[in-house]
Structure 1
């Protein structure tokens, strides 16, 4: 949070249209266009208002019911999920900032940890080590993929197609959301609110 606030107060960027100032490429196929075709939306339930919920490989474990949230300023992992992955508390680093949800009061933060996250299916996978804030609150998802990971992996979300796409060394990776998981998490959230 403090780093982000510092970046905002930093000098105003100039020459943003100067391509000679472009950072080095990530992959050979970085310039591949990311597009969503109408054919990609086949087998989706339309119309829908489901939250985008995907599966991810986190710390070597398949983690289901991860919410993709463009509005979250941190990546979040539920403490129960953290324990199911097989990680122990002494691996957690302290987290000194508060995390707020829509309900007002701050959520109970246990700590933070950096874990590898892999998205996609072979050969179109991408892996990044990213920081998760571990919270000990009842949340209806196993975790939240927030803006930090979305930015690091250069993920593009498209709700109509209920999927995400991102560049990989072998082309464009793609992960479809799961309507069943999304609705299960939504129903769980409704029951927790009652």
Structure 2
């Protein structure tokens, strides 16, 4: 039943749409392998977040290739996924990825989510903990 919306076979990552800073953002990668949420500078600019909201961070990121990436800063914005809304911190970096945002493990855990790449869905609990919400892949 869960695979009715998905073209099989596939090896696609889980990519969703979320409301971030009151704007719909498409091509958001749900990445349980990432320890942080990442916002490319281009997305930061398109969301029209004021530069004064950036806070310094002294911690570089390590990319897949082992290279260190110096963040521009950290920013905290509201992220809505279905009926769940949280203030999330993002590391803002100067990169040009295929995705507009990367949501890491911390966010996945806060929304009590289970990302299912095969099924192209992330299952989350409602705030009351009684029902499951599905956030479907794009």
Aligned counterpart, 2:19: 57
Say what the alpha-carbon RMSD is for the aligned residues. 1.2
Structure 1 stretches (4+) deviating beyond 6 angstroms?
none
The verdict on how the C-alpha distance between 1:82 and 1:130 changes in structure 2, with shifts beyond 3 A counting, is same
Cα shift readout 1:53-94 (whole Å, capped 9, x = no counterpart): 111111111111011101000001111001111112111000
Judging by fraction of residues, say which structure has more strand.
Answer: 2
Q: TM-score, normalised by structure 1?
A: 0.67
Q: Specify the structure having the higher radius of gyration (Cα).
A: 1
Q: TM-score, normalised by structure 2?
A: 0.93
Aligned counterpart, 1:173: 133
1:109 Cα offset (Å): 0.8
1:111 Cα offset (Å): 0.5
1:140 Cα offset (Å): 1.5
Judging by fraction of residues, say which structure has more helix.
Answer: 1
Aligned counterpart, 1:146: 104
8 Å Cα contact 1:107-1:137 kept in structure 2: no
Query: What runs of 5+ residues in structure 2 fail to find an aligned partner?
Result: none
Query: What runs of 5+ residues in structure 1 fail to find an aligned partner?
Result: 1-38, 179-194
